[in-house]
């Protein structure tokens, strides 16, 4: 398995502000993923972050809204910019690890935008 | 038609019962199948990982994959109140999801009554 730490675990944010979520992994990984889980919905992939290259965004997600950094093989950040109530969600960091390249998740960052 | 269909429940069963959770999917390219358990206000925890068709057993949990029917199941024997959680199925065409990540169902909320 993998130990994945996310900060903040939860936050209440004002409309129009931005928040950066940090993800720290206990050992080096090549691929890190950011997912969003809106209330009552599936987990949806936002982007894939590889160290040393620009993040790859899924359809419907753009860099201006969700800038991502991946400065090294154990750390990544996701920023949710210019937040609106529709951005209220759980944001999850995940990594690929081990036999079968299994995907493991962090505890999530619960954001409420008011 | 959504790629992965999963009944959101809630599914309520008495303690000790056998639980059956299911997902159907439409993409015949999916070959890797996972079940995650998510407790309230926690990140998803990997329970089972299977490749292609067949059964896999781990303790009280059994995962079944029928690729011909595009149908996967998770069985929980001797269910316990601590099994109460949301169960998410996930799948991918390549090991670890690759650059496309995993495709998730919405999750089934399971309640085990003491």
pLDDT in tens, A86-110: 999 999 999 987 766 788 999 999 9
Domain annotation covers residue A4: no
- Contact residues, chain A, for B47 at CB < 8 Å: none
Cβ of A40 within 8 Å of Cβ of B106? The answer is yes
Q: How far is A62 from chain B (nearest CA, A)?
A: 16
Q: How confident is the model at residue B1 (pLDDT cuts 50, 70, 90)?
A: low
Q: E-strand spans in chain B?
A: 4-5, 11-14, 19-25, 32-38, 45-51, 54-58, 61-66, 71-76, 85-92, 103-104, 108-113
CATH of the domain at A18: 2.60.40.10
Q: CB-based contacts of B113: which residues, under 8 Å, 6+ apart?
A: B12, B13, B14, B15, B81
Strands A109-113 and A10-13 turn out to be: parallel
Q: What's the domain range around A92?
A: 11-113
With beta carbons less than 8 A apart as the criterion, state whether B75 and B18 touch: yes
pLDDT at A99: 65
Domain annotation covers residue A46: yes
Domain annotation covers residue A6: no
Report the distance separating Cα A103 and Cα B7, nearest Å.
23
Q: Domain total for chain A?
A: 1
State which CATH number among 1.10.443.10, 3.30.2270.10, 2.40.37.10, 2.60.40.10 fits the domain covering B4-93. Answer: 2.60.40.10
pLDDT at B82: 96
Domain annotation covers residue A42: yes
Partner residue facing A105 (CB), from B44, B105, B106: B44
- Contact residues, chain A, for B91 at CB < 8 Å: none
With beta carbons less than 8 A apart as the criterion, state whether A48 and A55 touch: yes
Instruction: State the best of B39, B48, B101, B108 to mutate against chain A, taking most chain A CBs within 10 Å.
Output: B101
């Amino acid at each position: 398995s993998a130990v994945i730490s996310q900060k903040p675990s939860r936050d209440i944010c004002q409309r129009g502000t931005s928040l950066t979520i940090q993800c720290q992994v206990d050992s080096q990984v090549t691929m890190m993923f950011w997912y969003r889980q809106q209330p009552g919905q599936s987990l949806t992939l936002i982007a894939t972050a590889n160290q040393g290259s620009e993040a790859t965004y899924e359809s419907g997600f753009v860099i201006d809204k969700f800038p991502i950094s991946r400065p090294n093989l154990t750390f990544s950040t996701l920023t949710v910019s210019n937040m609106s109530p529709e951005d209220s969600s759980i944001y999850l960091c995940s990594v690929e690890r081990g036999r079968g390249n299994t995907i493991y998740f962090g505890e999530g960052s619960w954001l409420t935008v008011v | 038609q959504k790629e992965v269909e999963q009944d959101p429940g809630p599914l309520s069963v008495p303690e000790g019962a056998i639980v059956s959770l299911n997902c159907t999917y439409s993409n015949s390219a999916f070959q890797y199948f996972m079940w995650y358990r998510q407790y309230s206000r926690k990140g998803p925890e990997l329970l089972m990982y299977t490749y292609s068709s067949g059964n896999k057993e781990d303790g009280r949990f059994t995962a079944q994959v029928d690729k011909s029917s595009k149908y996967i199941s998770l069985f929980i024997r001797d269910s316990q109140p601590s099994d109460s959680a949301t169960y998410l199925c996930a799948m991918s065409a390549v090991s670890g999801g690759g650059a496309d990540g995993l495709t998730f169902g919405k999750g089934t909320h399971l309640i085990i009554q003491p």
